[in-house]
Homo-oligomer: A and B are copies of this chain.
Amino acid sequence: MSTAPKTWKEWEKPLIELEEALGKLQELANRATGTERDRLLEKIKGFEKRRDRYLDTKYHNLSAWEEVLLARAEPRPYTLDYINALFRDFIELQGDRRHGPDNAILGGPAFFNGQRVMVVGHQKGRTISERTHRNFAMSRPEGYRKAIRLFEMADRFNLPVISFIDTPAADPSVESESRGISEAIAASMLSMFELRVPTIAVVIGEGGSGGAIGIGIGNKVLMMEHAIYSVIPPEGCAAILWRAPERGAEAADALRLTSRSALELGLADEIIPEPRGGAHRDPAVAAESVGAAIQMHLDQLCKMSPDALKQHRYERFRSVDGLREASPSDLPLGK
């Protein structure tokens, strides 16, 4: 476990070499003619097959820790990438009516396949200045309070809510505590439970504990294939349990934080498959899959009455851990 990678780029190394080789072959092929050209094209096909095989093998067998690194990778599509690809006429509304704007959570009404919806999501940044501007997608209390405003508006105007989750955690600074980050997260969840419109939460990257579930109360909770969802960052878990933050890979395994685990545990409703090699290799295809999944669930949910939607959401989270009807005999330690 001491050989656990530190970044997703480590396992992309062979890939980069392969693709460099591919590039050179393509150049040669472009200049070649006749059988030489045919030979080169054949070789290219072979290399492409090897690349695809590598991607297939690797990306279907990532360790939990590798999934963590991948979920955090900068080239992955972020909330605004999905909004741009899938939504039309998005109008960001910024006011929390309390303190100020929050750039780590954004939201507003938009058209999704012609349907009026409210979209809310964490937003990461790619460049250093973007990341700072977005506070690394760590929302402060005002982000959740803005989200509450948008949820309530969605309820009044009958707009389904789509939320995109992608945050390492809520902002844990002194300022955030001063303004009640805990209350803001709890109140945001409470507000989502009160809604009488469909809510769909999509974990697109990092589902980081309270900061994530704060906008995650969906009638349906979907996860991208390479997204994670965890009660604590694995490094933090390792630090607390073993006083060894470097044992994050072990903690990642133990925490069962991958999309597959979440599905198995019944905590996610669907995994959205990503293109070969991850969403960042083909964001357009990734967005298409996300859009299709949202549309499918939206169609189902829109058939339900407002009261039924609220009750459905309650039932979903009430029963999610299988304990609702638990009696002593259900549980190993029960007497």
Q: What is the CB-to-nearest-CB distance from A175 to chain B, in angstroms, rounded to a whole number?
A: 12
A107 to B183, CA, bound (A): 21
A180 on interface, CB distance cutoff 8 Å: yes
A179 on interface, CB distance cutoff 8 Å: yes
A303 on interface, CB distance cutoff 8 Å: no
Contact among B97, B179, B180, B187 with A180 in the assembled complex (CB-CB below 8 Å): B97
A183 to B98, CA, bound (A): 9
Q: In the complex this chain forms, how many copies of it are found?
A: 2
Binding site secondary structure of chain A: loop
A49 on interface, CB distance cutoff 8 Å: no
Q: What is the CB-to-nearest-CB distance from A148 to chain B, in angstroms, rounded to a whole number?
A: 12
Residues of B within 8 A of A179 (CB): 98-99
A160 to B270, CA, bound (A): 48
Q: What is the CB-to-nearest-CB distance from A279 to chain B, in angstroms, rounded to a whole number?
A: 38
A97 to B187, CA, bound (A): 10
Nearest B residue to A141 via CB reads: B98
A180 to B97, CA, bound (A): 7
Contact among B97, B99, B183 with A97 in the assembled complex (CB-CB below 8 Å): B183
Q: What is the CB-to-nearest-CB distance from A107 to chain B, in angstroms, rounded to a whole number?
A: 19
A97 to B178, CA, bound (A): 10
Name which of A98, A99, A180 has the most chain B CB atoms within 10 A of its CB: A98
Q: Could you tell me which residues of chain A, from 170 to 219, have a CB within 8 Å of some CB in chain B? A: 179-180, 183, 187
1/0 contact string of A74-109 vs chain B (CB within 8 Å): 000000000000000000000001110000000000
Q: What is the CB-to-nearest-CB distance from A147 to chain B, in angstroms, rounded to a whole number?
A: 15
Q: What is the CB-to-nearest-CB distance from A103 to chain B, in angstroms, rounded to a whole number?
A: 19
Q: What is the CB-to-nearest-CB distance from A328 to chain B, in angstroms, rounded to a whole number?
A: 36
5 cross-chain pairs, A with B, having the tightest CB-CB distances, nearest first: A97-B183, A98-B98, A97-B180, A98-B180, A99-B179
Residues of chain A having any CB pair with chain B under 8 Å:
97-99, 179-180, 183, 187
**Sample of 7 further A-B pairs with CB below 8 A, known A97-B183, A98-B99:** A97-B180, A97-B187, A98-B98, A98-B179, A98-B180, A99-B99, A99-B179
8 A-B residue pairings within 8 Å (CB atoms): A97-B180, A97-B183, A97-B187, A98-B98, A98-B99, A98-B179, A98-B180, A99-B99
